[in-house]
Amino acid sequence: MKIELETIPVWDGVQENCECFICSLMAEAQKDAINFYLGNSVMNPETRVRVNEHGFCPKHWCMLTAANKSQGVALMGDTYLETTRKKSESAINGLLSAKSPRQAKKVVEAFHSVLESREKGCLVCSAMEDRLQRYLYTTCYLWGEDPSFREAISQGKGFCLHHFSLLLEIGQKALSSNLYPEFVREITQLEVANLDRIAKDVHWMTQKYKAENADKPWHGCEDAHKRTVDKMTGRSRVIDPVR
């Protein structure tokens, strides 16, 4: 499958100069996907068929209900639950007629697997995954094609470890084999320099809590614990839509 380029958002992301611009683009992607299922699209029969079939993961159902757009969520919940009941009807009948211990174990397993398959394929997660692939691919592609983009990346703060690892992986597809080793070296150099910066900041934060350092300046390290977690996990911004 050919991956579409997303030059404009990726350039905007780089210029944002945050700890990981892929994280920040993914937070946007999540917001857009949630808004899509809170808007008029839930009235569209095709969308509803997809919602009934795939639904959302627990985290994204929670984000939908937290948005206070009750009617749309009620409509989706109504027909999604109906579909779940249909798909699990025979498993539920099995549970109701369990007789022997062996049979009980078997019907419980059958019900468990129906439920597991219902929780797969969240529409918000899938939309985000598509965008993630395009953003990662575009980042690698522009790094290879546009010297000014390569310069902008090298002036940035690197990536969270999660997206750093995915970028290195997708670079193989997006770049020529000649350029690939140089990409791996350069992006890693940038990442290591920025991990050193974060490490220094969070260490200074720990020192600031000592009585002898109470009067010394923070040097901008008041939020170093949050930046450290963001850099390590890369997911906190995406999990919490408020940030």
CA 4 to chain centre: 19
Minimum CB–partner distance for residue 43 and Zn ion (Å): 22
Q: Is 22 in the site for Zn ion (CB under 5 A)?
A: yes
User: Which member of 33, 34, 38, 122 binds Zn ion (CB under 5 A)?
Assistant: 122
Per-residue binding string, Zn ion, 200-239, x by CB under 5 A, is: ----------------------------------x-----
- Contact call for residues 163 and 235 (beta carbons, < 8 A): no
Residue type, 27: A
Which residues in the 147-206 window bind Zn ion by CB under 5 A? 160, 163
* End-to-end Cα, the chain, rounded Å: 34
Q: Is 125 in the site for Zn ion (CB under 5 A)?
A: yes
- Contact call for residues 168 and 191 (beta carbons, < 8 A): no
CA distance 9 to 7: 6
Q: Tokens at residue 71, please?
A: 């009617």
Q: For residue 101, count CB atoms less than 10 angstroms from its CB and return exposed for 0-12, middle for 13-18, buried for 19 or more.
A: exposed
User: Which member of 38, 124, 166, 198 binds Zn ion (CB under 5 A)?
Assistant: 124
Q: How many residues bind Zn ion (CB under 5 A)?
A: 11
Q: Which is nearer to Zn ion, 20 or 174 (CB)?
A: 20
Q: Which is nearer to Zn ion, 103 or 165 (CB)?
A: 165
User: Which member of 6, 10, 20, 202 binds Zn ion (CB under 5 A)?
Assistant: 20
